[in-house]
Amino acid sequence: MGKVVLVGAGPGDPELITLKGIKYLQGADVIIYDKLVPRELINYAKPSCIVRYLISDDMEIDLLRKYASEYKLVVRLKNGDPYVFGRGGNICYELSKDGIECEIVPGVSSVNSVPAYSGIPLTFSGISDMITVVSGVTQGGKLFDFQKIPDYGTLVVLMGSKRMEEISKGLMIRRDPSEEVAIIERGTYPDQKVHITSLKELHKFNLTSPSMLVVGKVVRLRELLWKLS
């Protein structure tokens, strides 16, 4: 059996991949990637490397098993960090049951880097000393149980662009409807867009994917810091 390495590609800007991630791309016999990964990173592949575009996540583990049985080094290039809403733990667990070695190369997560590119620090002395990160939509298409979120601190909501009206209602169960929200679309990409609104107005926005929400007082700091990002 060959080895599978899950490499975090970063949030979108191809320059945010790690040096270790590039090293594995250069040595890979097989690279599997998807639509969220910057296509420029495939240029690191050696000429003999098999490059496979993944259409559906349902095929992911089966493909990795197949190529690991035929090749020495298989790289799965994943957006952000494989262990932060990237199914990396599930993948390595399933492969290990078949005796396939699985390694993780951490990546720059969109959780912190996308707000930073927008001039929004997730923590700030005297304003926020706590970060809560949730997936707006969970396994099976269910909404996150917003009763569980705190009513203070910085809140980051991922993967909710198609359910914005429902998510805005859920957030207002625990958060003030007048609280400021940053909507960040295609974070760290050249066409990144940032909208500032309130929770009660959030339902009016139709978002593209990938996108995220940042809720809390730190959003106000964008007025001072965005030019520094």
CATH number at residue 222: 3.30.950.10
Q: Is the pLDDT of residue 126 over 60?
A: yes
Q: Are residues 68 and 159 in the same domain?
A: no
Q: Is the pLDDT of residue 135 over 80?
A: yes
Q: Are residues 15 and 43 in the same domain?
A: yes
Model pTM score: 0.90
Q: Are residues 18 and 97 in the same domain?
A: yes
Q: Are residues 19 and 56 in the same domain?
A: yes
Q: Are residues 148 and 47 in the same domain?
A: no
Q: What is the pLDDT of residue 227?
A: 64
Q: Are residues 136 and 173 in the same domain?
A: yes
Number of domains in the chain: 2
Q: Are residues 93 and 116 in the same domain?
A: no
Residue 81's CATH number: 3.40.1010.10
Q: Are residues 79 and 115 in the same domain?
A: no
Which pairs from 137-140 meet CB under 8 Å and 24+ separation?
Answer: 137/162, 137/163
Which structural domain, as residue segments, surrounds residue 8? 3-105
Share the mean pLDDT of the chain: 93
Of 85, 105, 125, the position where a domain reaches its end is 105
Q: Which of 37-46, 52-61, 175-184 has the lowest mean pLDDT?
A: 52-61
Q: Are residues 148 and 208 in the same domain?
A: yes
Q: Which residue has the higher pLDDT, 227 or 74?
A: 74
Of 88, 105, 122, the position where a domain reaches its end is 105
Of 87, 105, 123, the position where a domain reaches its end is 105
Q: Are residues 97 and 122 in the same domain?
A: no
Q: Are residues 22 and 114 in the same domain?
A: no
Q: Give residue-wise pLDDT tens across range 138-190.
A: 888 889 999 999 999 999 999 888 888 899 999 999 999 999 999 999 999 99
Q: Are residues 88 and 116 in the same domain?
A: no
Q: What is the pLDDT of residue 229?
A: 47
